Structure 1
Amino acid sequence: MLVPPKKNQYALRAIFELAKHMDQGPVKISEIATAQSIPLRFLEVILNQLKASGIVDSKRGFYGGYFLVKPPNQVSVGDVMRFLSRDLSPSDCIACVSKTSCPFDGQCAFSSMWIRVKQATFNIYDETSFQDLIDREQDAGWSSQQ
């Protein structure tokens, strides 16, 4: 099972929460942390990093907080995942047993399969906007907020 790192999951949940509050003004970091069960200290770092993506921004002061720069239907999960994985080389193996140097030196029988898995995963990420996620939550009746 391919599950994104916890940091990426937290980032997606934070942006999801901001998307749910679009056009309601900035959202305090403590509210995001509580609503999405994200440790506050991690969330502070993640949101600060996400500001560099152009997806989120912040406003200082008593009425400050974080907000989405674009509408939720214009931000895909793929946008966020690409930004978060920007330090990885496109040729990096997503499942290599060694993160520093591959013992198979590019002669891995699994390499092309992992590349296809990564491409298929990003196709799903790219096809999923944050508005899609909000709609799914509302349709399922999971959200207590509106």
Structure 2
Amino acid sequence: MKLSTKGRYGLRALIDLALYSETEPVSINTIAERQGLSERYLEQLMALLKKNGIVKSIRGASGGYSLAKPASEISVGDILRALEGNLEPVDCGGLNPEEGCSASGTCVTKYVWQRINESITNTVDEIMLDQILAESRKMPEQPSGSGRNCKG
């Protein structure tokens, strides 16, 4: 499975938001500057995250974005599904009873696809945003905009 920039940049932006929005909302341009991302692209990602109830926006001079719920209640899976959609790397009709598959009864590869899909889902749903924040606080402070060199 390969994530697009939506998932990769969106996760980075959410980590940044969670780190800096504990006392006040954070503006898009502040996140974009710290992470080396386009403001326009970040606006699109935040709109998807807002639509899915992960962030909320506050209007006004001191407005911006903050988490819609505690970081301990937001999984990486929630974030990636909001930005990427379905995370299953293989779309197998044999795994979905409503779709059906003519070879479902004799196809042994569906077992492989099911195990891969379950592994990905379990992994991203077990990692909570607060765990990532705890890990990021252990790392040495990086200069502003250092996210530009990060491939993730």
Task: Tell me if both proteins adopt one fold, taking TM over 0.5 as the criterion.
Answer: yes
CA–CA distance in 1 between the matches of 2:28 and 2:102?
Answer: 43
Equivalent residue for 2:81? Answer: 82
Match of 2:71 in 1: 72
Structure having the higher Rg: 2
Q: Secondary structure, in 3 states, of the residue corresponding to 2:44?
A: helix
Determine the structure 2 residue equivalent to 1:99.
Answer: none
- The structure with higher relative contact order (CA 8 Å, sep 6+) is 2
- For the residue of structure 1 that corresponds to 2:60, the secondary structure is coil
* Structure 2 gap ranges (5+): 92-100, 145-152
- Residue 23 of structure 1 aligns to a residue in which SS? coil
The CA deviation string for residues 103-143 of structure 1, in whole angstroms up to 9 with x for no partner, is xx775765432332222112111111111111111223355
**Alpha-carbon distance in 1 for matches of 2:39, 2:125:** 28
Map of 1:132 onto structure 2:
131
* Match in the other structure for 1:37: 36
CA contact (8 A) 1:27 1:66 kept: yes
- The TM-score with structure 1 as length reference comes to 0.76
Equivalent residue number for residue 102 of structure 1? none
Q: 2:5, 2:43 → 1: CA distance? A: 14
Give the TM-score taking structure 2 as reference length: 0.73
1:86-110 deviation digits (Å, cap 9, x = unpaired) = 4x4x9xx6247xxxxxxxx775765
| Residue type of the alignment partner of 2:28 | I
CA RMSD in angstroms comes to: 2.5
2:54 partner amino acid: I
| Residue of structure 2 equivalent to 1:49 | 48
Alpha-carbon distance in 2 for matches of 1:76, 1:38: 22
The list of structure 1 runs, each at least 4 consecutive aligned residues, that deviate by more than 6 angstroms after superposition, is none
Contact 1:75 1:129 in 2 (8 A): yes
Give % identity. 32
Comparing both structures, which one devotes a greater share of its residues to helix? Answer: 2
User: Matched residue pairs, number?
Assistant: 132
Q: Secondary structure at the match of 1:126?
A: helix
The 1-side partners of 2:6 and 2:29 are apart by 17
Cα distance between partner residues in 2 of 1:22 and 1:119: 33
